[in-house]
Chain A
């Protein structure tokens, strides 16, 4: 069967600037002028001593078949989020190639673009449009979304007056009613109280059963074994293990244990 996602030799390099403190997140024109003047000297200074780049992803290859739910796990800084951001077209890869044979929706957080001053109703439309839904689609699903979020009574209240639970429920509800062929999800599941979490997982189950392809990044290993058939373990920007969810989770736990055993 033909894969719906193919990732070939994907790499992403980030520059880290050792002379700048991490708090300086942007540069001014003067700085970049100064830097270009200093460039020949800085190169000498760092020559052979220190590499100012970091490979967040290095030569990553995998394929996902249609209808598969693929789990992606790994320790912090393993490259999981970078992978999702590249697949979501938020950042560009340094080299390599990704081919997606379907419409993609990515959920890197819930409630992206929610505006506190707008009402619940207005935010559903705004958020839906930001996530790539047509107005027609939102109209058709509006009642379903509001019912799922259980905020019917407050739908015309500004969301800044919502409780944090209501806010998150509404945000999740919009996202849960997206209808793409490929869904990319980053740890946004299981929001709200225990009862609503149950509902979210149930919804996630529906999604996986509907034949949609899902890439799921999470630290919840149980969720991986529950929802996914296959999984990929990332470590240091490379694929450390790929296989059945059970197998990969076991491998990861063994890896964590052995690193803890070392002094």
Chain B
């Protein structure tokens, strides 16, 4: 560690020559600075109390980073793949074909009169977006640990970008849905206007669940093992391969406790022109708001220690 005097002098000279710097060049505090100091600190750093505000303003200030992280996730996802973005269609398409054969043709599950392929594809589309969003959201903090330990920005940006990046896959896979709607001769109705708000609601719910799991995952790596299992169970308790009308009336409310039931059934109803299930979707919307607020606060509370635990 210690430098001998001669060595030190030599290396100082070397640097002086190379960088053209020497002590007299270093400015003493200049009086005419190009900016004036604000009266109040721009940033105050203190130990926070257990209750922390959400600070939406900081999130808004970093919206460009959200965009760039989403863009990175999308760009990287299909790099060095031959089929590229076609993968977004292949997954739900192949699943649809298999399900149509087993559940539609062989098991002859009822579909309220809708052809099975489009009945299941519509639900799969929404489900794939949700489950991929939650999974990549939950693993996003761990995957970006290099950012968390080196740079400051609102950490909520990371899982949000991971969930948001799934929207593109959703859009690509929707093309096939439109094709199926045309093929089976469904006509456009006013109910189509409900599709966009429904997608927003689905995104919000995926965000709520993804954010919550991402924070837990930093502290408890059990999430990594529990989540795939949870997702699998969730798939079967959601009316994707079957309609909720399959469940006896008196037990329907149990199925509707699952917020995804409302989303999937409402999506199908608005596509196929059947009666819109307002009560279940109302419950889902309320649940989503609560989940999102709860998840955000949990995240904020745990966020302080992310850099130490990750």
Q: Which positions in A face B, CB cutoff 8 Å?
A: 1-2, 4, 14, 26-30, 32, 65-69, 75, 85-104, 106, 108-109, 112-113, 115, 117-118, 122, 125-126, 129-132, 134-135, 181, 194, 197-198, 201-202, 204-205, 208-211, 219, 221-223, 225-229, 253, 256-257, 260
Contact = CB atoms under 8 A, between A and B. Distances in A.
Given A201-B21, A225-B23, A126 B43 contact: no
A72 to B, nearest CB: 16
A132 B12 contact: no
B83 interface: no
Given A29-B222, A102-B37, A129-B65, A67 B27 contact: yes
Given A222-B12, A226-B16, A112 B307 contact: no
A129 B69 CA distance: 9
A1 B29 contact: yes
B249 interface: no
Contacts of B27: 67, 208-209, 211
Contacts of A96: 46-47
B220 A90 contact: no
Contacts, number: 182
Given A101-B41, A115-B76, A14 B308 contact: yes
Q: Which 3 A-B pairs have the closest CB atoms?
A: A201-B19, A99-B41, A98-B45
Interface residues of B, number: 63
Contacts of B218: 26
Interface of B: 1-3, 8, 11-12, 15-16, 18-23, 25-30, 33-35, 37-38, 41-48, 64-65, 67-69, 71-72, 75-76, 79-80, 144, 146-153, 218-222, 304-305, 307-309
B12 A26 contact: no
B5 to A, nearest CB: 9
A95 B151 contact: no
Contact of A66 (B20, B29, B76): B29
Given A93-B46, A135-B64, 14 more contacts: A1-B29, A87-B45, A89-B45, A90-B148, A93-B47, A100-B45, A101-B37, A102-B38, A112-B147, A115-B76, A117-B80, A201-B19, A205-B21, A221-B3
A257 B2 CA distance: 7
30 contacts: A4-B37, A28-B220, A28-B222, A32-B220, A66-B37, A67-B33, A90-B151, A92-B48, A93-B46, A94-B47, A95-B47, A97-B45, A98-B43, A100-B42, A100-B43, A101-B38, A112-B146, A115-B76, A118-B72, A126-B68, A129-B69, A130-B68, A202-B19, A204-B19, A205-B20, A205-B21, A222-B15, A225-B23, A227-B26, A253-B2
Contacts of A104: 42-43
Given A69-B26, A86-B45, A97-B46, A113 B146 contact: yes
Nearest to B48: A92
A102 B35 contact: yes
